[in-house]
Amino acid sequence: MVSAKKIKAAAIVALCMSAAVASAQTPEEVRARCRAENRPCVGLVLSGGGARGFAHVGVIKVLEEMGIRVDVIAGTSMGAMVGGAYAAGFSYEQLESTVLGVDWDQMLAPRPDRAILPFRRKLDDYKSLPSSGIEIGADGVPTLPDSFVPSEELALFLNEKTGTVSMIEDLARLSVPFASTATDLVSGERVVMQKDCTLGQAMRASMSLPGVFAPLPYHRKLLVDGGLVDNLPVELARSMGAEVLIVVNVGTPLSKRSELNSVVGVMAQMVNLLTEQNVRESLASLTDEDVLITPDLEGFTSADLKRSADIIKRGEEAARKSQAALLKFARPRAEFLAWNETRMRPFADEDARKVHRLSDIRVASRRRSAVAPERVLNVADISADKPVTNAELDDASRRVWAEGNFETITYRFDPGPNGTEVLVFEPREKRRGYSSVRLGGSVQTNFEADNSFNLLFSHSWNLLNDWGAEWRNEIQVGEERRFTSEFYQPLGAGSPWFIQPKVEYAREPFDVYEYGDPVERRRNETLLVDFMLGREIDRLGFAGASLGWIRTKSSQEVGVEGTSDKFSSWYLGGEFLYDTLDNINFPTRGVRFSALGRLTNDTSGNEGGDEYYSVDALVPYSVGRWTLTFSGEVGRSTVSSAFSLGGAKRLAGSAYGRWTGSRMQYGRLSLAREISGTFDAIKQPVWIGAAAEAGRAWNPNAPKTSESSDDDWHYAGSVYVGIDSLIGPLFFSYGRTFGDESAFFFLWGRRD
């Protein structure tokens, strides 16, 4: 049993610790306190190492079991994440659950979840346009993105985990004095993150691996990963007052020559060379009184983020092997428990702090702001009339970020009246009038004569006024040629109503078949001028009404001289889109329904008539890794041969554009299974599936000698492998259209 005398002594230690946390602890004060307790000042040094840094959590578990009090902590990169959380007051259990609970797919996603994208960004998916592109500066010079991974999810994660101590801007005031290292990207100098910064900023700066996460702007500096200059901050811990050190090194060793066989491998080696040099200096400065723990992480890389449980275990095993050396730092159990309880006090009621009573909601003002605060508040859709949780605020920040006009958007709380809080959104927006260039397209081949490609060039000018106008121009070359210019103008800051004038010219060739062989090559040309008044439906889609003018022409390119089909007319139109699909290429949940209709006053007697409509739907249903998907489409056009069937995903087996017409009906049922989790070597989502299709496309007024007049149904079946790759969807399939042809197909992008 613990004696009453020991408990009383422990209580006195706890009271002293509580008083110390209220103010910054200087190195001299830290040493003086340790001398008063007749023990050396213990520093914990945690190195960087990416996912290998999860081993630090296992080491901390053993330190707590042994009753080792840590007086100062210094960390770099992942060591800053783990060490900073422990210094702030995280228990070991909270550390472990946080690491194991991170959704790394979401953290490292190149864009927000599709469900929260505004409809215009959802429509880009159907053009195979990437979420980001090359930005054009005011001087006309193109610039590449500053990182592969957006920083929003990392910022929200740190905001949530450090929010309890976010008011502390001197990290020597944490439960355990803490500091991390970062690198000034301009000067290459080491920057110590402790004074005049929050814990979230210190973690964020030290974690900013160049190229992965964007540099952190901080006091006119650009900060990146501290591992480049000080991956094992031994001297930093000593400068904070430490007299003896517990050092945990999880850095990635240099690769062997046989492993340097790719650009990625060479670049990683260059970073590791810089890191290894400064680590050797730090290791050389250790004394016999210090304890070095080097977990056995053979087989683990810095990118093995989803193997956190195994890496934590390796850290625990390494610490247990060093227990004999660590024993000299252990304190009496009662004393340690009292200290540890005080250390964890800031996060003891963490769950209660996740619910907030608000008195006001504001947007932090910025000079030369390009986005009206009303837009941020309307999209965030948070009310001060009821309590709000951190999870709700994270979702609100993601919705605003998904607009595409912000680098990051986080939030903080200021004190409000009567125990309430003022919620302050802090957006870091892109500059007014920024523009970007993106490239998309598609390639399809049956490895024989049927080959087609399209390349899409898209340029957007954004934030052209306070209401968030955007002017976009697109040029597509290849099999289908198109030029589009549209101006999107919301009718107020944050208003769901918008107007959109548009001019479009499109030219598409198609073949006319007789007895199964192409006998004629024709092309459709369309010139359209459209003015739409529309309303966004809360990120689910939009509805709009249009007034416009259209001119169409179908003429011959190759073959026996034939007829020309053309008309021009004013029209009234309507358009509707409802799209909640999680992924348009490999959907597992949600639904898509779209409809477009136009009524013209054409009197030229063209083949297509005077009505145009197109309706399509797609519904997936998933059970585990299996997904059953139904899609269908019907259409009628004012132009002969405006619709086509055939190709990799439209009656597979037949040639692309095998059947064309001014009328079309089509349905597809597919069953697919995601298999990427089956093979450790496969990192991208991979699907295998089979599909059954039925469809017809025809021209009612075409000559009976032409297959275009045939309104018979055609049926097809196919099997395929699909990869949701970083460069877009890839499909390898074999299909057969019964009564026609069979073929192997390769498809990159979308050719619906």
pLDDT by residue (tens digit) across 76-100? 999 999 999 999 999 999 999 999 9
pLDDT by residue (tens digit) across 412-440? 888 889 889 899 998 887 766 678 898 88
> Is-catalytic flag, 712?
no
Comparing 131-140, 225-234, 296-305, 449-458, which segment has the lowest mean pLDDT?
131-140
* Catalytic hit among 47, 77, 302, 546: 77
Comparing 30-34, 134-138, 346-350, 539-543, which segment has the lowest mean pLDDT?
134-138
Q: Which of 397, 430, 423, 424 is nearest to 152 (CA)?
A: 397
Most confident range (mean pLDDT) of 470-474, 506-510, 737-741 is: 470-474
| pLDDT level of residue 10 (50, 70, 90 thresholds) | very low
Residue 340: per-residue pLDDT? 92
Is the pLDDT at 649 greater than 90, yes or no?
A: no
Please provide the average confidence, as pLDDT, over all residues in the chain: 85
Residue 586: per-residue pLDDT? 92
Give the span between the Cα atoms of 377 and 427, in whole angstroms: 11
Residue 453: strand, helix, or coil: strand
Going from the C-alpha of 13 to that of each of 6, 172, 655, the distances in angstroms are 11, 19, 82
Q: Are 223 and 215 in contact (CB under 8 A)?
A: yes
Q: Are strands 291-293 and 244-248 parallel, antiparallel or unpaired?
A: parallel
Mean pLDDT of 21-33: 77
| pLDDT level of residue 353 (50, 70, 90 thresholds) | low
Residue identified by tokens 């006009």 is 405
| pLDDT level of residue 264 (50, 70, 90 thresholds) | low
Mean pLDDT of 533-558: 89
Rounded to 5°, the CA angle 606-607-609 comes to: 75
Mean pLDDT of 727-734: 89
Q: Residue 181: what residue type?
A: T
Percent of the chain at pLDDT > 90 equals 43
Q: What are phi and psi of 387, to 5 degrees?
A: -60, 150
Mean pLDDT of 544-556: 89
* Catalytic hit among 124, 225, 230, 290: 225
H or E segment and range at residue 82: helix 78-88
* Two tokens, residue 80: 């800053």
Is the pLDDT at 16 greater than 60, yes or no?
A: no
Give the span between the Cα atoms of 233 and 181, in whole angstroms: 7
| pLDDT level of residue 130 (50, 70, 90 thresholds) | confident
DSSP string, 368-415: T--S-HHHHHHHH---TTS-EEHHHHHHHHHHHHTTSSEEEEEEEEEE
Residue 560: per-residue pLDDT? 58
Looking at 119-195, list the stretches that DSSP marks H as alpha helix, in order from N- to C-terminal side.
119-125, 152-162
> Is-catalytic flag, 147?
no
Residue 575: per-residue pLDDT? 96
3-state per-residue secondary structure call for 307-320: HHHHHHHHHHHHHH
Q: Which of 603, 633, 606 is nearest to 618 (CA)?
A: 633
Give the span between the Cα atoms of 451 and 464, in whole angstroms: 40
pLDDT by residue (tens digit) across 663-721? 999 999 999 999 876 655 456 789 999 999 999 999 887 777 677 778 899 999 999 99
Q: Are 70 and 42 in contact (CB under 8 A)?
A: yes
Residue 459: per-residue pLDDT? 93
Residue 656: per-residue pLDDT? 83
Which has more confidence, 606 or 345?
Answer: 345
Is the pLDDT at 17 greater than 80, yes or no?
A: no
Is the pLDDT at 574 greater than 50, yes or no?
A: yes
| pLDDT level of residue 53 (50, 70, 90 thresholds) | very high
Give the span between the Cα atoms of 9 and 350, in whole angstroms: 28
Comparing 402-411, 497-506, 692-701, 705-714, which segment has the lowest mean pLDDT?
705-714
Is the pLDDT at 369 greater than 60, yes or no?
A: yes
The Cβ of residue 134 has, within 10 Å, a number of other Cβ atoms equal to 14
Radius of gyration over every alpha carbon of the chain, rounded to an integer in angstroms: 31
The Cβ of residue 585 has, within 10 Å, a number of other Cβ atoms equal to 19
148: CB partners within 8 A, 6+ apart: 110, 211, 212
Give the span between the Cα atoms of 699 and 706, in whole angstroms: 9
